Amino acid sequence: MRLTTFTDYTIRVLIYLGLHTDRLTTAAELAERYQVSRNHLTKVVHFLAQQGYIDTLRGKGGGIRLARKPHEIRIGILIRDSERDSLLVECFNKESCQCRILPACRLTGILREAEKAFFQVLDGYTLADLIRNDKALDALLAEAIPGT
Protein backbone atom coordinates (compact mmCIF):
# COMPACT_ATOMS: atom_id res chain seq x y z
CA MET A 1 0.00 0.00 0.00
CA ARG A 2 1.27 3.45 -0.86
CA LEU A 3 0.08 6.40 1.17
CA THR A 4 -0.81 9.62 -0.61
CA THR A 5 1.27 12.77 -0.23
CA PHE A 6 -1.71 14.25 1.59
CA THR A 7 -1.49 11.56 4.26
CA ASP A 8 2.28 11.96 4.48
CA TYR A 9 1.88 15.68 5.11
CA THR A 10 -0.94 15.00 7.57
CA ILE A 11 1.38 12.86 9.68
CA ARG A 12 4.24 15.36 9.37
CA VAL A 13 2.03 18.23 10.55
CA LEU A 14 0.95 16.26 13.61
CA ILE A 15 4.54 15.26 14.38
CA TYR A 16 5.60 18.91 14.33
CA LEU A 17 2.67 19.99 16.47
CA GLY A 18 3.39 17.12 18.85
CA LEU A 19 6.94 18.40 19.23
CA HIS A 20 5.71 21.93 19.96
CA THR A 21 2.72 21.56 22.26
CA ASP A 22 3.82 24.62 24.24
CA ARG A 23 3.02 27.13 21.49
CA LEU A 24 1.02 27.89 18.36
CA THR A 25 2.43 27.05 14.94
CA THR A 26 1.53 28.40 11.50
CA ALA A 27 1.20 26.75 8.12
CA ALA A 28 4.01 29.03 6.93
CA GLU A 29 6.29 27.73 9.66
CA LEU A 30 5.42 24.13 8.81
CA ALA A 31 6.08 24.75 5.11
CA GLU A 32 9.42 26.34 5.91
CA ARG A 33 10.52 23.60 8.32
CA TYR A 34 9.51 20.73 6.03
CA GLN A 35 10.37 22.62 2.84
CA VAL A 36 7.05 21.72 1.21
CA SER A 37 4.25 23.69 -0.42
CA ARG A 38 2.36 26.00 1.94
CA ASN A 39 -0.69 25.54 -0.28
CA HIS A 40 -0.64 21.76 0.30
CA LEU A 41 -0.16 22.24 4.02
CA THR A 42 -3.08 24.66 4.19
CA LYS A 43 -5.33 21.91 2.80
CA VAL A 44 -3.93 19.45 5.33
CA VAL A 45 -4.46 21.90 8.20
CA HIS A 46 -8.05 22.47 7.08
CA PHE A 47 -8.67 18.70 7.00
CA LEU A 48 -7.07 18.14 10.41
CA ALA A 49 -9.18 20.92 11.93
CA GLN A 50 -12.38 19.47 10.40
CA GLN A 51 -11.53 16.06 11.81
CA GLY A 52 -10.83 17.44 15.28
CA TYR A 53 -7.12 16.63 15.38
CA ILE A 54 -6.07 20.27 15.68
CA ASP A 55 -7.42 23.60 16.86
CA THR A 56 -7.03 26.71 14.73
CA LEU A 57 -6.97 30.25 16.03
CA ARG A 58 -7.46 33.05 13.50
CA GLY A 59 -6.20 36.60 13.55
CA LYS A 60 -3.03 38.25 14.71
CA GLY A 61 -1.10 35.89 16.93
CA GLY A 62 -3.19 32.97 15.67
CA GLY A 63 -2.01 29.58 14.58
CA ILE A 64 -2.62 25.90 15.07
CA ARG A 65 -2.05 23.38 17.84
CA LEU A 66 -3.01 19.84 18.70
CA ALA A 67 -6.58 19.44 19.89
CA ARG A 68 -5.76 16.09 21.50
CA LYS A 69 -2.86 14.70 23.45
CA PRO A 70 -0.31 12.79 21.30
CA HIS A 71 -1.12 9.48 23.00
CA GLU A 72 -4.79 9.90 21.99
CA ILE A 73 -4.07 10.07 18.25
CA ARG A 74 -3.98 6.56 16.77
CA ILE A 75 -1.97 6.35 13.58
CA GLY A 76 -4.23 3.73 12.00
CA ILE A 77 -7.33 5.85 12.53
CA LEU A 78 -5.54 8.95 11.26
CA ILE A 79 -4.51 7.18 8.05
CA ARG A 80 -7.99 5.73 7.55
CA ASP A 81 -9.40 9.25 7.93
CA SER A 82 -6.98 10.82 5.47
CA GLU A 83 -7.12 7.96 2.93
CA ARG A 84 -10.91 7.66 3.14
CA ASP A 85 -11.46 7.92 -0.63
CA SER A 86 -8.45 5.87 -1.63
CA LEU A 87 -8.92 2.22 -2.52
CA LEU A 88 -6.08 -0.28 -2.52
CA VAL A 89 -7.43 -1.78 -5.75
CA GLU A 90 -10.34 -1.07 -8.08
CA CYS A 91 -12.22 -4.21 -7.09
CA PHE A 92 -12.76 -2.90 -3.54
CA ASN A 93 -15.58 -0.81 -5.04
CA LYS A 94 -17.94 -3.30 -6.65
CA GLU A 95 -20.19 -0.57 -8.12
CA SER A 96 -17.43 0.93 -10.27
CA CYS A 97 -15.21 -2.11 -10.78
CA GLN A 98 -14.76 -3.08 -14.43
CA CYS A 99 -12.78 -6.27 -13.80
CA ARG A 100 -14.31 -9.24 -15.60
CA ILE A 101 -12.93 -11.86 -13.23
CA LEU A 102 -14.15 -10.22 -10.02
CA PRO A 103 -16.84 -12.83 -9.25
CA ALA A 104 -14.23 -15.63 -9.22
CA CYS A 105 -11.12 -13.71 -8.17
CA ARG A 106 -9.51 -14.69 -4.88
CA LEU A 107 -7.03 -11.81 -4.88
CA THR A 108 -9.64 -9.36 -3.59
CA GLY A 109 -10.07 -11.34 -0.36
CA ILE A 110 -6.33 -11.72 0.09
CA LEU A 111 -5.78 -7.99 -0.39
CA ARG A 112 -8.56 -7.17 2.09
CA GLU A 113 -6.86 -9.45 4.62
CA ALA A 114 -3.51 -7.74 3.99
CA GLU A 115 -5.06 -4.28 4.32
CA LYS A 116 -6.69 -5.32 7.60
CA ALA A 117 -3.31 -6.52 8.93
CA PHE A 118 -1.67 -3.27 7.78
CA PHE A 119 -4.14 -1.17 9.77
CA GLN A 120 -4.04 -3.54 12.72
CA VAL A 121 -0.32 -2.82 13.08
CA LEU A 122 -0.82 0.94 12.67
CA ASP A 123 -3.62 0.90 15.26
CA GLY A 124 -1.02 -0.19 17.81
CA TYR A 125 0.82 3.14 17.51
CA THR A 126 0.02 6.71 18.46
CA LEU A 127 1.49 10.09 17.69
CA ALA A 128 3.33 9.82 21.02
CA ASP A 129 5.23 6.83 19.59
CA LEU A 130 6.27 8.88 16.57
CA ILE A 131 7.70 11.72 18.64
CA ARG A 132 9.59 9.74 21.29
CA ASN A 133 12.86 10.87 19.72
CA ASP A 134 11.76 14.49 20.01
CA LYS A 135 15.23 16.01 20.34
CA ALA A 136 16.51 14.33 17.18
CA LEU A 137 13.38 15.24 15.21
CA ASP A 138 13.45 18.84 16.40
CA ALA A 139 17.15 19.17 15.55
CA LEU A 140 16.54 17.92 12.01
CA LEU A 141 13.64 20.30 11.52
CA ALA A 142 15.70 23.21 12.87
CA GLU A 143 18.39 22.40 10.28
CA ALA A 144 15.82 23.08 7.56
CA ILE A 145 16.22 26.79 8.18
CA PRO A 146 19.68 28.27 7.78
CA GLY A 147 20.88 30.02 10.90
CA THR A 148 18.63 28.20 13.38
In this predicted model, what pLDDT tens digit does every residue of 35-44 receive, in sequence order?
999 999 999 9
**At a CB cut-off of 8 Å and minimum separation 6, what does 130 contact?**
11, 14, 15, 18, 70, 75
Average pLDDT of the chain is: 89
Task: Enumerate domains of the chain plus CATH numbers.
Answer: 5-143 (1.10.10.10)
> 7 or 143: which carries more pLDDT confidence?
7
Q: What local confidence, expressed as pLDDT, does residue 145 receive?
A: 65
In this predicted model, what pLDDT tens digit does every residue of 95-141 receive, in sequence order?
777 777 777 888 888 888 988 999 999 999 999 999 998 899 999 99
